[in-house]
Amino acid sequence: MGGKTPHSALSDALTAEDVATYLRETPDFLQQHPDVVHHLIPPPENRGNGVADLQHFMLLKLRREVADLTAQQEELIATARANINNQSRVHAAALYLMDAQSFEHLIQTITTDLAVLLDLDLACLVMEQPEDSRLVLHAERSGLQLVETGAISQWIGKRDIILRGNIQGMAEIYGPAAPIVRSEALVRLQIAPDAPAGLLAFASRDADLFHPGQGTELLSFLARVVERCIRNWLTL
Amino acid sequence: MGGKTPHSALSDALTAEDVATYLRETPDFLQQHPDVVHHLIPPPENRGNGVADLQHFMLLKLRREVADLTAQQEELIATARANINNQSRVHAAALYLMDAQSFEHLIQTITTDLAVLLDLDLACLVMEQPEDSRLVLHAERSGLQLVETGAISQWIGKRDIILRGNIQGMAEIYGPAAPIVRSEALVRLQIAPDAPAGLLAFASRDADLFHPGQGTELLSFLARVVERCIRNWLTL
């Protein structure tokens, strides 16, 4: 037989010669199993006979096209499924944030529950050294990380969101958990025009879970929800 | 398998299904064993002779398959685009609701801005006759519709959401705008366990814009956001 190797255990037991013998003795095989025709590429024949050769060429082309379209379709469906999953995770997270019963509870929800709800390894809230004493107070008790003024712009420039794969997590963001971080999404938070800059960081052990070029709509939406929830509790 | 019976001892051990499986997994079989083609009778559509006819039959089948796959792909892409559009509209609406500066402003946002943000013709808020005097107060000034206790269950039964196409809008829900309504989505609101039943109604002049079988995740999410925003202002 040719370069192709059959995969199933069943087929392993058959030789090409067995099948050829069977088919020679069973001329109506394709009539009984018309779908099989569809899987087979007929041999090029009638060299010099234009019609058969052209058809053979077209067959190969069409079959490649079917394979390409099928692969694209599988990818489209997988992407659509992933989007629906991500969407419902982000929606569950948004509602959960809105359900927080106090500012402290909100911060705790962001830094502990959010990662679970989004099926990620870590979610962190970073604020540049704030004037607001309530934030300073909470930094000691919850997962809020405080950094020097300017640090966030240094990490993400002027962008509102940045996705990075294949990285080492920064201790300034993730604290002692930094070593497990292999990819991240960093989303800028602007709680109020005059509030210190903030950052929502989502991280995964998977070096490829976040990577440039991914859609950012859902995480951006979640950041906008976080901004509003914080504003609401601080009555900013 | 069919009427023909294989004769050799070897073939006796094979079933037609074994051979079919083998061939499906070995598309180049006929190229490796071109002589076998001459022994096989092509499926009924393909009476005639030899390789050219078999090829012709396969070409037609493959062309149909390419056409089907292409149509499916276009539909998948159109659906994905529509989902992304709807998602970003619902997200914009959710953030807008969260930005309301007072309870009155929230109700006004629901009954006037929501339809625009969602690119619909109408959005209405219906509450069963409430004990809560603040709701009664607002019913007179904003788009809030008050209905008798039990009316909402009468419309949507025990369901949380119902989509209906090709309908006449009910005046109890849409007031004087009812005549333009040709399809609607009715979503139950449960503001608090002991609060009167509520309903968020989305309507279109397009008789087919809402119809049973459509996805409801986005509108359900928006209803959950509305519940939380109302709760927040009433501190329920």
Q: What DSSP letter does each residue of chain B carry, written as one string?
A: --S----SHHHHT--HHHHHHHHHH-TTHHHHSGGGGGGPPPPGGG-S-HHHHHHHHHHHHHHHHHHHHHHHHHHHHHHHHHHHHHHHHHHHHHHHHHT-SSHHHHHHIIIIIHHHHTT-SEEEEEEES-S-HHHHHHHHHSSEEEE-TTHHHHHHTT-SEEEE-S-PPPHHHHGGGGGG--EEEEEEE-SSTTSPPEEEEEEESSTTTS-TTS--HHHHHHHHHHHHHHHHHHT-
User: What are B192-211's pLDDT values in tens digits?
Assistant: 888 889 999 999 999 999 99
Q: Per the CB < 8 Å rule, is A221 touching B50?
A: no
Is B4–A10 a contact, with Cβ atoms under 8 angstroms apart? no
B57 contacts in A (CB within 8 Å)? 37
Nearest alpha carbon to residue A163 among A92, A224, A217: A217
Are the Cβ atoms of B6 and A22 closer than 8 angstroms? yes
- Distance (Å, rounded) from C-alpha A22 to C-alpha A1? 15
Is B88 within 8 Å of A31 when comparing Cβ atoms? no
- Cα diameter, chain B: 92
**What pLDDT score was predicted for residue A141?**
57
pLDDT means per 10 residues in chain A (236 residues)? 46 77 85 77 60 72 92 94 94 96 91 94 89 59 80 94 96 92 96 89 96 93 96 80
What sections of A99-132 are H helices per DSSP? 103-108, 114-117
Question: In chain B, pLDDT over 70 holds for what percent of residues?
Answer: 83
Q: Which long-range contacts (CB under 8 A, 24 or more apart) does B209-212 make?
A: B209/B120, B209/B165, B209/B182, B209/B183, B210/B163, B210/B164, B210/B165, B210/B183, B210/B184, B210/B185, B211/B163, B211/B164, B211/B165, B211/B166, B211/B183, B212/B163, B212/B164, B212/B165
Test A40 with B62 for CB contact under 8 angstroms.
no
Give the chain B residue nearest A65 (alpha carbons): B66
CA of B36 vs chain A CAs: smallest distance (Å): 6
Which residue of chain A is at minimal alpha-carbon distance from B222? A91
Neighbours of A96 (CB within 10 A): 17
Out of B24, B41, B83, whose CB is closest to A39?
A: B24
Residue corresponding to tokens 């209803």: B223
- Three-class DSSP category at A87: helix
User: What mean pLDDT value characterizes chain B?
Assistant: 85
Nearest CA in chain B to A91: B221
Tell me the count of A-B CB pairs closer than 8 A. Answer: 234
Which phi and psi (to 5°) does residue B32 adopt? -80, -25
CB contact under 8 A, A29 and B42: no
Q: Which domains does chain A possess? A: 14-69 (no CATH), 86-234 (3.30.450.40)
Q: A232 vs B228: CB contact, 8 Å cut-off?
A: no
* Residue B44, pLDDT above cutoff 90: no
Asked if B40 lies within 8 A of A20 by C-beta distance, the reply is: no
Residue whose C-alpha is closest to residue A43's, from B3, B35, B75: B35
**What pLDDT is stored for residue B3 in this prediction?**
42
Q: Which pLDDT value is given to residue B229?
A: 95
Q: Residue B45 pLDDT more than 70?
A: no
CB-based contact B41 A31, cutoff 8 Å? yes
Strands A122-128 and B161-164: unpaired
Question: Is residue B184 a contact partner of residue B205, using CB atoms and an 8 Å limit?
Answer: no
- Of A149, A144, A159, the closest CA to residue A216 belongs to A159
- The verdict on a CB contact (< 8 Å) between A77 and B73 is no
Chain A, nearest residue to B19 by Cα: A19
| Contact call for residues B133 and B165 (beta carbons, < 8 A) | no
**Residue A69 Cα, gap to closest chain B Cα (Å):** 6
Mean pLDDT of B36-53: 62
Looking at residue A89, its pLDDT comes to 97
Q: Label residues B129-153 b or e (16+ Cβ within 10 Å = b).
A: ebeeeebeebbeebbbbbbeeebbe
Tens of pLDDT along B127-176?
998 665 555 655 555 668 888 889 999 999 999 999 999 999 999 999 89
What is the pLDDT confidence band of residue B59, given thresholds at 50, 70 and 90?
Answer: confident
Query: d(Cα A63, Cα A74) in Å, to the nearest integer?
Result: 16
- The conformation of residue A41, written as its DSSP 8-state character, comes to P
Shortest distance, CA A82 to any CA of chain B (angstroms)? 12
Residue among B4, B73, B79 minimizing CB distance to A28 = B4
Q: What is the DSSP letter of A205?
A: S
Q: Hey, is A212 helix, strand or coil?
A: coil
In this structure, the number of other CB atoms found within 10 A of the CB of residue B53 comes to: 17
Nearest CB among A21, A51, A79 relative to B10 is that of A21
**Measured between CA atoms, how close is A31 to chain B, in angstroms?**
4
A1–B32: do the CB atoms touch at under 8 Å?
A: yes
Residue among A2, A21, A29 minimizing CB distance to B40: A29
CB contact under 8 A, B228 and A98: yes
- Nearest CB to B26; choose among A4, A49, A66: A4
